[in-house]
């Protein structure tokens, strides 16, 4: 194998590792956002159910005040009945009393419905509160895990990049430039083997002439289709 190819393969191996680590590093913000979204959904669920419970409790409170006012009215009407001597007025007050009593009955029916809903909602609020607390703990663990992973990825990338210059020693500048461009444009596959007369980069059959050139190991040969540097599989 040509010594330049050997060097490029070692370099490519290291560059591929860097590339894989960089891709993993790039995915971290998205992973973080996904974890935060899951938690914010739990927060939303909690505030929605709490809001619903509060609304119902407020309606119940309003109804209690309404019923109380009606009872006071009834007491007032009865007081007036004691004071009046007119039959007409007396029966008009009776009518008012029965309207108020009817109103109180319908308020009490609604209050019962609301109390049943409140009884159903309370355990759901407790559940949502528990899920929210657990979700926060889980999120903190996940975020700190991602932060640790990020730091270790960055450290590993720095380490590999620091050793990279040594791996390029003895490779001609022109060839190194071509390799670097190919590595970027071909997703980390710049130097590839020819297998059964097929370039394993683009999977196209190469000419016999190309195979002979690669076999002769006299100079660097590129795939005529994709331009990758070719070598013969040992
Ligand atoms: Zn090719």
Gap from CA of 5 to ligand 1 centroid (Å): 16
pLDDT tens by residue, 38-80: 999 999 999 999 999 999 999 999 999 999 999 999 999 999 9
Gap from CA of 199 to ligand 1 centroid (Å): 5
Beta-sheet pairing, 191-195 with 198-199: antiparallel
Gap from CA of 190 to ligand 1 centroid (Å): 10
Helix (H, G, I), strand (E, B) or coil at 181: helix
> How far apart, in whole angstroms, are the C-alpha atoms of residue 157 and residue 163?
10
> How far apart, in whole angstroms, are the C-alpha atoms of residue 114 and residue 126?
18
Gap from CA of 6 to ligand 1 centroid (Å): 19
DSSP state of 205: B
pLDDT, mean of residues 186-198: 96
- Asked whether the beta carbons of 230 and 194 are under 8 A apart, the reply is yes
Gap from CA of 24 to ligand 1 centroid (Å): 27
The Cβ of residue 50 has, within 10 Å, a number of other Cβ atoms equal to 15
> How far apart, in whole angstroms, are the C-alpha atoms of residue 35 and residue 196?
47
Q: Is the pTM for the entire model greater than 0.85?
A: no
Gap from CA of 145 to ligand 1 centroid (Å): 41
If you write DSSP's letter for every residue of 116-162 in order, what string do you get? HHHHHHHHHHHHHHHHHHHHHHHHHHHHHHHHHHHHHHHHHHHHHHH
Helix (H, G, I), strand (E, B) or coil at 232: strand
Only one residue has tokens 């006299």, namely: 218
Gap from CA of 43 to ligand 1 centroid (Å): 53
Alpha helices per DSSP H over 169-207: 173-185
Gap from CA of 233 to ligand 1 centroid (Å): 15
CA dihedral of 122, 128, 132, 133, whole degrees rounded to 10: 50
Domain 8-169: CATH architecture, name and number where available: Orthogonal Bundle (1.10)
pLDDT band at 233 (very low <50, low <70, confident <90, very high): confident
What residue spans define the domains of the chain?
Answer: 8-169, 172-234
pLDDT tens by residue, 100-149: 999 999 999 999 999 999 999 999 999 999 999 999 999 999 999 999 99
> How far apart, in whole angstroms, are the C-alpha atoms of residue 37 and residue 42?
9
Gap from CA of 205 to ligand 1 centroid (Å): 8
Gap from CA of 224 to ligand 1 centroid (Å): 7
Gap from CA of 183 to ligand 1 centroid (Å): 13
Gap from CA of 167 to ligand 1 centroid (Å): 25
């Amino acid at each position: 194998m040509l010594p330049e190819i050997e060097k490029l393969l070692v370099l490519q191996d290291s560059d591929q590792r860097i590339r894989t680590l960089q891709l993993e590093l790039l995915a971290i913000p998205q992973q973080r956002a996904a974890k935060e979204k899951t938690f914010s959904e739990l927060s939303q669920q909690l505030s929605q159910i709490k809001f619903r419970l509060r609304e119902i409790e407020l309606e119940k409170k309003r109804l209690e005040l309404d019923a109380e006012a009606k009872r006071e009215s009834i007491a007032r009407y009865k007081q007036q009945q004691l004071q009046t001597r007119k039959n007409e007025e007396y029966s008009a007050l009776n009518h008012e009393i029965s309207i108020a009593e009817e109103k109180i009955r319908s308020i009490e029916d609604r209050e019962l419905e609301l109390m049943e809903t409140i009884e159903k909602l309370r355990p759901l609020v407790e559940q949502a509160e528990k899920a929210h607390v657990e979700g926060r703990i889980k999120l903190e663990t996940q975020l700190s895990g991602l932060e640790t992973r990020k730091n270790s990825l960055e450290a590993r990338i720095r380490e590999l990049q620091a050793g990279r210059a040594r791996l390029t020693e003895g490779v001609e500048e022109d060839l190194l430039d071509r390799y670097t461009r190919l590595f970027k444009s071909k997703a980390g596959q710049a130097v590839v083997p020819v297998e059964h007369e097929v370039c394993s980069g683009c999977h196209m059959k190469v000419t016999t002439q190309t195979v002979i050139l690669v076999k002769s190991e006299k100079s660097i040969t590129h795939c005529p289709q994709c331009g990758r540097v070719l070598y013969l599989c040992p």
